[in-house]
Chains A and B, each alone.
Chain A
Amino acid sequence: MKEILMVTNCAEAKHLIHLDVGDDLRVEEELQLATHMQQCGDCRSYHADMSRSMNTLLTLRNAPAFDSLLATSVWPLLSRELARRHTSPRVARKFNMQVVALSVSALSLAVVTMVQSLSSMRNDQNPTGVVPGLTVSESSKIQQLETVDDNAGIVRAPFYPHEAIGSQPVSF
């Protein structure tokens, strides 16, 4: 009872109106809406508009275009189809590992090719080995400093002497 007496605002009333035009309100909601509409002209006129729009929509309910019945029952055709499915043996489905293996190989090949082309691109960018901004002799000194640790097989990072003595960084 307390809920029914609660004052409904216009937004809430409009929501109830949308349901009321299709008879979808519960008893307590009907009372709530009626109480609000007694005091609110805007909502009364909104209700009238919504009722008109609902009547327009309902013209589709019995429109001849949708009244055409199913020409014949689908059951005769359906029962034949079911019988056919019942008699034809089911082919057992097996997970095809070959497809997965092939896909993985193709993917690995693609990754390897990508990595190789990336490294060759890096080499192509600087085929002379001359470090930009340095003279040929300075570059050859750097190349001498790039060593390979044969025991560990690790390529050491190039060491640029001018960085060590705090000179300006080479701008690329």
Chain B
Amino acid sequence: MWTMSESDAEEQATDPEDSSENGGVPSESEVRLVHAARNGDNAAFGELVQRYERRVFKVIRRFIPDLEMATDLVQESFLRAFERIDQFDPSRRFGPWLFRLAVNLTYDHLRKIRRRGKWALFTDAGEDRAPDPAVVDPRKNLDLSQEVQVVLAEIPEAYRTVLILRDLEGFCTADVAAVTDRSEATIRWRLAEARKMFREAWERRERRAEKTRLVQDDI
């Protein structure tokens, strides 16, 4: 039986053409701006900010629905980029490097929230309770995209990120590899697994919804 694993995928990435190293060539204007920003030109950095901020915001919003928090994280991402611009390799494209900072900051933020929830003195007790059939399930009022969002949240972070960047934000697999600091072969493997996970999670949700419908019809 064919059983390919993520480590197999990693091993396949020995060809430099197939690795995340090949994230494309930066444009001339971008090289100029990055060079100027590295030499302390704030206006050049400002131009980079204005070029990328909407895209960064959109990616962060996929993970953080709160508008204000997402905006704060955009700012934080650019601040970090400014602080670390000396570490950036100017022969690469600025975009993937910036998105990597933004995604990592977003992960950190999500982890902080999870940790806070874990150690909180009082947690939401409602989550584990069996649903009361007499109470209308608020999920019933979700539109399709909201339901998809709920299902997407069930997918493990590493896979969800690949799905978000590739399928929802339209990054090419080489860029997803550069953003996540993985080889392109690993990203292709994760992408295949993530799409399968989404399908299974969606089907589970449909089955649950069907069961609930039947129970309510009986009542």
Contact = CB atoms under 8 A, between A and B. Distances in A.
Interface of A: 9, 11-12, 14-15, 18-19, 21-22, 24, 49-50, 53-54, 56-61, 63-66, 68-71, 73-75, 77-79, 81-83
Contact of B58 (A18, A66, A74): A66
Given A60-B145, A66-B61, A50 B75 contact: no
Interface of B: 1-4, 42, 45-46, 49-50, 53-54, 57-58, 61-62, 65, 67, 71, 74-75, 78-79, 82, 144-146, 148-149, 152, 163, 166-168, 170, 173, 188, 191-193, 195-196, 198-199, 202-203
Contact of B82 (A50, A61, A63, A82): A82
Given A12-B2, A15-B4, A19-B188, A79 B46 contact: yes
B168 A61 contact: yes
Contact of A69 (B45, B50, B54, B65): B54
Contacts, number: 114
Contacts of B149: 60, 63, 65
Contact of B62 (A15, A49, A66): A66
A54 to B, nearest CB: 7
Contacts of B203: 53
A81 B82 CA distance: 11
A49 B199 contact: yes
Given A12-B2, A54-B167, A70-B71, 19 more contacts: A9-B2, A11-B2, A15-B192, A19-B191, A22-B191, A24-B191, A49-B199, A54-B195, A56-B202, A57-B152, A57-B163, A57-B167, A57-B168, A57-B195, A58-B168, A60-B145, A60-B148, A60-B149, A61-B170
Nearest to A16: B192
A89 B218 CA distance: 72
Nearest to A58: B167
Given A60-B152, A77-B75, A11 B53 contact: no
B75 A74 contact: yes
B39 to A, nearest CB: 14
